[in-house]
Structure 1
Amino acid sequence: MSTASLAATAYQQIKLELDTFHYAPGDRFSENEVSGRLGMSRTPVREALVRLQREGYISVLPKLGWVVNAIDFEVFAQLYDVRAVLECAAADLLCACTDTAERLQALTAIWCVPDAERLREHARVSLLDEAFHLDLVQAAGNLEMARIHRDLTDRIRVVRRLEFTREDRIGTTYAEHARILQALLARDAAQARTLLQTHIAVSRDEVQKITVHALQAARRQRLSQAHVA
């Protein structure tokens, strides 16, 4: 297996462990530790860790190894506010276009579908949800706005990763995305902005609740394991 393939495998495994809080915020670990556990050399493991560092999951401590980043919900709430501003501005631009339907055709084909055609796989829906918001801003045609929005998306991905571990979030997201698209297709900018603001605010609050619950469950499991040991 090539180094790139090994690095991709290492990335997926470590990310899963971060998502399930095998490594919790504040935990430290070394490249040697991960390499030994995964049965890989340090090179692909380091590449995987650097990628996770760029995505905001972990940080490197000189001579001390790696540490899982703390989750600052106040900062993330501010980032969600900025996201709402950008997406509402994109909605205004889209509603002013003469080819709105053409620009949104691909998104409409994904989200405006009957319940029987909706995807159920959490990981896949999560990727499509992120792409929905990125593509929506991209479709508005302002390249700088799209660039800033992509950077913002990279920063909040670390907390959004758990949103679709709850089944009800999938159906809710499909319904809300469809309503947003319908407002945009009708060129009702005020309605589109209202729907986007509500959608993003609810997503922010749900992500925080799901993350806090997952953290608490992980801590209880650790305490239970420590007690047994």
Structure 2
Amino acid sequence: MSRIVILTGAGISAESGLGTFRDKDGLWTKYDLNEVATPEGFARNPQLVTDFYNARRANCLGAEPNAAHYALARLEAALPGEVLIVTQNVDDLHHRAGSKNVIQMHGALMSALCSACDHRWPAPAVMHLTDTCPACGHPRTRPDIVWFGEIPYHMEAIAEAVEACEIFAAIGTSGQVYPAAGLAAEARRNGADCVELNLEPSEISRVSQTRRYGPASEVVPDWVATLLG
């Protein structure tokens, strides 16, 4: 029985057509993150933020999981053990590929959040500022996204899984955004074998015993095949 924790970042969804953040053509080169990814930005211009996430949701709905997503779903289904995907991504491609055990630590494009009572519900394809919470009737709903300055979701459960895992794999992540960036080092301190599957070396390379570089749609299926024998 193996216990595997897999951290995924924007790089795993890039081949599905969803933009990464920190490369030269990334999302943050086209938008001011202070305006579209902070509570203060939402307070200043909620329409801009709502439009931004509506566009990202439309992009996500038009995308399909790639071979890397399907390989991880196959690993979860076939491995005699536990596989947990902790994703920094807000898309739903892991779920659509068939993965069941997924934590979206930075929230979900397909979810709406009430800023008054914290109720969550499936987001419509297009959200409006006048949308009301189905639980309390509050008219200022927001995307269920963890913005800069907010605490990522499910950190206690993630910490417990990282402490207990035997293998920790980081896929398609820059290793620059905390607290996610610190998970590999924590797993290594607890005795896990650390694996980096990435397009190129990242900040996680220094704590990884195994490193494979290339497109996620190639290196992830190859790694899964190795694990499944």
Q: Which has the higher helix share?
A: 1
TM-score by length of 2: 0.27
Larger Rg: 1
